[in-house]
Each structure stands twice: as structure tokens, then as C-alpha cells.
Amino acid sequence: MKSIERFSGISFGADPEFFFVNKKGKVVGSERVIAKKGYSKEGSNSGKIIRDGVQAEFNIRPSTCRQSFAWSLSALFKWAKERAKKKGLDISFKQLVKVDKKELMSLSPESRMFGCEPSYNVYEKDGMSKPVGENPEEYLFRCAGGHIHLSCSYDDSKETLKKTLQNAKELIPIMDIVVGNTCVLMDRGRGNKERRRTYGRAGEYRQPIYGIEYRVLSNFWIRDYKLVSLVLGLCRIAVSVVRNSTKGCNYAKKLRELVKQEDIINAINKNDKKLALKNFNKIKKFLKQILPTNYGLAFDKYRIPKFEKFIKKPITFWFKSNPLAKWTRVSGDVAAIGWERFADGVIHK
């Protein structure tokens, strides 16, 4: 098969979650820090910080550019730090926390709830995600998602792209193969299996009017801009695979044939790194064949081997500094080095 066309008209948005914590590290409900209407800064278009149950979340301004996305995220980090400091609190980006029962019951009924509308799931017979099955006032764990929103931008094939993004039955399984399974190789936190008891299972999505929301990932990828750059690049690959597929040259169908759907689902839902690696090994040769060696897709035949070297170590080996300290750096160079430069430089060496 020939190389796919790099499809750049994809706009990235996201709503990664986080927690406010006191000096003892105990979780504090977001309603104690963020007003009901949310928080943003006048004159800024970087986005907004809102409540989402116990958690708070960033609503990041959509952008086709990964760097612009990161600059908006950096501004939101700074705002969150300011709000936390005023209350004598800190910020935690853990994927799973346990809330003190006394703190939980002192919050408003709205904040005690899980706070999520039902999701769709392409693998369920009725098309809906399984219900949580836990009493939110008894179940004390709360998790931080890192959902990604994909929409159309300025591309001259806008209507075609819109149809691709609205075709969830075709796109979401490819997102699971390219994005969800690959992220298991990086996001190894033990809490992920528990997190997926409530939400974030393979195949989960929502269908807003502007495109699609992929609801599988945790917030791990906002730890560093290199991870942001990589994960958004993987999303661009998944959409480009589906967008470029035709009856005569169906890239999406070939990917689905290379790896069992059941194995992808199990690797994601159980956060099974060994199974995820087996799945990745089954598709990497094909990805090397079809991905062009130009900027914007994160992977190609040269960078896949570097990624394989990267995942031999936990992400804490590569990114040791506190995420909050890094994103709130005054110098403005938070988005200076993306995944490609990191792979070609630091990992390669």
C-alpha cells in the first residue's frame, strides 16, 4: 500500500481533569475553589477551568497546531495554580485518588455525583457504555480522565472530514488500535484498571455536533508537552487512516485485520502492557509502510523504533520534573520541543 496523505485539517480540543489537594495531600472538592460558572480570564481565549464533580477540568481551546494547544494548556495550568494558591491548596494530576468520606459528604449533591452523562460504546450491542454500577456516595475513588475532542477546521475537504469524524463505528476502533492501545504502553499506573470500572473503557466516545470525543485516555498525557505532542499526533494518524481509506485501498480495514478486536479491548480495559505490546508489534510494520516521513504524524519508519526504546522505561524516567512546575514556567518555552524533536534527539542519543 502507498503512504497515506497527511491530513492536517483536524482541530484538537481536550478536557483533562485534575484534583485540588490540601497540604496533607488529601483531596478537596473543586467546588471549594472554582465557581459554578467556571473560571477563565477576561481577554484570553486559552479556555476555561470548570468543576466536574470532585474533580476540576481544563477546557482547552481547540487548535490544529499542537504547539498552540500546549500554549493554551500552559495558561490554564497557571490559572489553576493561582486559584489553588489563594486557597492554600496544591494540585494533583494522579489518575486515581481516594476521597475522604467526610470531605465527600460535605460537598453539594451535584459534586458528589460522578458528573458524567452516559457515553456511547461501539462494542456494546445497544451502542451505550455500561452503567457505572457504583453508588457515588459510597464509592470513594475518583479518577482523572484526559478526553480528546476532534473537530474540523479550515481544510478544503471539510465536509469529507466531518463525515469521517461522525462515523464513530469506523473511527473509534481505529482510535483504540492507534491511540488507546499505544497509550497503555506509556500509561502504566495501577489505578487505570480501577478507573475503567467507572469509565474510560475501550470504545467509549461521545458525539457532539462539532465532531467526536474520544473518552478512553486518562490525564497522563498532559504530564509534559512531548507526551501531548505524541498523543495528538497519534490521533491525527488514526483520523488520517480512516479519511484516506477507499474501497480499493482500505487502510482502516487492513489495520483491523492485523490485530484482534478482543485483544485491543482487553489490553485497554485491563491496562495490560504485555498484551498491548503484542498488539503494537502486529501493526508496527504496516504503520512503517503507510506513514509518510514528514512532520505532524508523530510516527514514521524512523520514529517507531525510537518509540520502542522510549517505552522500555516508565515515563517518570524521561519526565522527572513536577508537571505543574514545568507548565507554569515563566520563560514561555513550554512548547519548544515536541515529540519528533525529542525522539530524534534525547531518545536517539
CATH number at 328 reads 3.30.590
Residue 280, judged by CB atoms within 10 A of its CB (0-12, 13-18, 19+), counts as buried
Find the length of the chain: 349
Please determine, for residue 281, whether its predicted confidence score (pLDDT) is greater than 90: yes
Give the pLDDT score at 76. Answer: 94
pLDDT digit string, tens, across residues 95-105:
999 999 999 99
Residue 16 located in a structural domain: yes
> Residue 180's domain spans which residues?
10-347
Give the pLDDT score at 133. Answer: 65
Residue 2 located in a structural domain: no
**Residues in a beta bridge with 48:** 59
Please determine, for residue 157, whether its predicted confidence score (pLDDT) is greater than 70: no
Region 32-40: what's the mean pLDDT? 94
Beta strands 55-63 and 90-92 are unpaired
Across the chain, where does the E strand assignment appear?
10-14, 17-21, 27-28, 47-52, 55-63, 90-92, 96-98, 120-121, 141-143, 148-152, 204-206, 211-214
Residue 21 located in a structural domain: yes
**All residues at 6 or more sequence positions from 268 whose CB lies less than 8 Å from its CB, including other chains:** 176, 180, 181, 184, 196, 201, 202, 216, 276
Please determine, for residue 16, whether its predicted confidence score (pLDDT) is greater than 90: yes
Give the pLDDT score at 315. Answer: 93
Residue 159 located in a structural domain: yes
Please determine, for residue 153, whether its predicted confidence score (pLDDT) is greater than 80: no
CA distance 238 to 242: 7
Residue 15 located in a structural domain: yes
Q: Which of 7-11, 231-235, 265-269, 275-279 has the lowest mean pLDDT?
A: 7-11
How many domains is the chain built from? 1
Please determine, for residue 331, whether its predicted confidence score (pLDDT) is greater than 60: no
Residue 47 located in a structural domain: yes
Please determine, for residue 321, whether its predicted confidence score (pLDDT) is greater than 80: yes
| Chain mean pLDDT for the chain | 90
